[in-house]
Amino acid sequence: MEVIILAGGLGTRLKGVIGDFPKCMAPVNGRPFLAYLFDYLGQQQCRRVILSLGYKAEVVKEWLATQDLPFVVDCVTEPEPLGTGGGLLLAVRQSVADNVVALNGDTMFMTDLKAQMDFHLAQHSCLTLALKKMYSFDRYGVVNTNSAGIITSFDEKKFREEGMINGGVYIINTKAFLSKHLPARCSFEKDYLERYTRDNHFYGYANEGYFIDIGIPEDYQRAQEDFKKIFS
For residue 164, pLDDT beyond 80:
yes
Q: What is the pLDDT of residue 18?
A: 77
Q: What is the pLDDT of residue 12?
A: 72
**For the domain 2-130+167-230, what is the CATH superfamily, name and number?**
Spore Coat Polysaccharide Biosynthesis Protein SpsA; Chain A (3.90.550.10)
Residues in the chain: 232
Per-residue pLDDT tens over the stretch 17-51 = 777 788 899 999 999 999 999 999 999 989 999 99
Q: Please provide the average confidence, as pLDDT, over all residues in the chain.
A: 94
pLDDT at 21: 81
Tell me which long-range contacts 139-145 makes (C-beta under 8 A, separation of at least 24). Answer: 139/216, 140/165, 140/166, 141/165, 141/166, 143/204, 145/203, 145/204
Task: Indicate the domain borders of the chain.
Answer: 2-130+167-230
Q: Give, rounded to a whole angstrom, the gap between the first and last alpha carbons of the chain.
A: 26
60-107 pLDDT, tens digit per residue, is 999 999 999 999 999 999 999 999 999 999 999 999 999 999 999 999
pLDDT at 11: 65
- The mean per-residue pLDDT over the stretch 107-123 comes to 97
Percent of the chain whose predicted confidence (pLDDT) is above 90: 89
